[in-house]
Chains A and B, each alone.
Chain A
Amino acid sequence: MGYLKIDHVDKSFRRGSATTEVLKDISLVIDKGEFVSIIGHSGCGKSTLLNIIAGLTPASTGGILLEGKEVNAPGPDRAVVFQNHSLLPWLTVYDNVALAVNKVFGAKKSKAERHDWIMHNLDLVQMGHAKDRRPAEISGGMKQRVGIARGLAMEPKILLLDEPFGALDALTRAHLQDSVMQIHAALGNTMIMITHDVDEAVLLSDRIVMMTNGPSARIGEVLDVRLARPRKRLDLVSDRTYIAAREAVLKFLYERHRFVEAA
Chain B
Amino acid sequence: MGQAVLKEETAEAKIVALPGQPAVLALPAVQGKPLSQRLMPWLRAALVNLVPPLITVALILLVWQLAASGPQSSLPPPTKIWDEAKDLIVEPFYWAGSQDIGLGWRILVSLQRVAIGFSLAAVVGVLLGALIGQSVWAMRGLDPVFQVLRTVPPLAWLPLSLAAFRDSQPSAIFVIFITAIWPVIINTAVGIRNIPQDYRNVAKVLRLNQVEFFYKIMVPSAAPYIFTGLRIGVGLSWLAIVAAEMLTGGVGIGFFIWDAWNSSRLSDIIVALVYIGVVGFVLDRLVAGIGSVVTRGTAQG
Contact = CB atoms under 8 A, between A and B. Distances in A.
Interface of A: 54-56, 74-76, 78-80, 82, 84, 86, 88-91, 99-100, 103-104, 134-136, 154
B204 interface: yes
A91 B196 CA distance: 16
A134 B297 contact: yes
A78 B204 CA distance: 11
Contact of A103 (B206, B221, B295, B297): B206
B299 to A, nearest CB: 8
A90 B205 contact: no
A249 B288 CA distance: 56
Q: By DSSP majority rule, is chain B's interface helix, strand, loop, or mixed?
A: helix
B237 to A, nearest CB: 27
A160 to B, nearest CB: 9
B301 A136 contact: yes
B301 A75 contact: no
Nearest to A80: B205
Contacts of A91: 297
A74 B213 CA distance: 15
B198 A103 contact: no
Given A99-B216, A136-B297, A86 B207 contact: no
B213 to A, nearest CB: 11
Contacts of A55: 204
Given A88-B220, A89-B301, A136-B301, A103 B201 contact: no
Size band of the interface chain B makes with A: 20 to 34
A91 to B, nearest CB: 8
A79 B201 CA distance: 11
Contacts of B212: 103
Given A90-B220, A103-B212, A136-B301, A82 B198 contact: yes
A76 B207 contact: yes
Interface in B98-142: none
Interface of B: 196, 198-199, 201-202, 204-208, 212, 216-217, 220-221, 223, 295-298, 300-301
Given A103-B212, A136-B297, A136-B301, A88 B202 contact: yes
Contacts of B301: 89, 135-136
Given A82-B198, A86-B198, A75 B205 contact: yes
A136 B299 CA distance: 10
A100 B297 CA distance: 19
12 contacts: A56-B205, A76-B205, A82-B202, A88-B199, A88-B217, A89-B300, A89-B301, A90-B220, A90-B223, A103-B212, A134-B297, A135-B301
A90 B198 CA distance: 14
Nearest to B220: A90
A100 B216 CA distance: 11
A136 B202 contact: no
B208 A103 contact: yes
B256 to A, nearest CB: 43
B201 A82 contact: yes
B291 to A, nearest CB: 13
A100 B223 CA distance: 21
A23 B60 CA distance: 72
Contacts of B300: 89, 136
Contacts of A88: 199, 202, 216-217, 220-221
Among B202, B205, B212, B298, which residue has the most Cβ atoms of chain A within 10 A?
B205
Given A74-B204, A103-B207, A103-B212, A84 B198 contact: yes
A89 B297 contact: yes
Contacts of B208: 103
B250 to A, nearest CB: 42
Contacts of A135: 297, 301
Contacts of B298: 89-90
B294 to A, nearest CB: 9
A134 B202 CA distance: 17
Contacts of A104: 206
A56 B201 contact: yes
A54 B205 contact: yes
Contact of B201 (A75, A86, A89, A134): A86
A79 B198 contact: no
A99 B206 contact: yes
Nearest to B295: A90
A154 B212 CA distance: 17
A84 B197 CA distance: 11
A104 B212 CA distance: 13
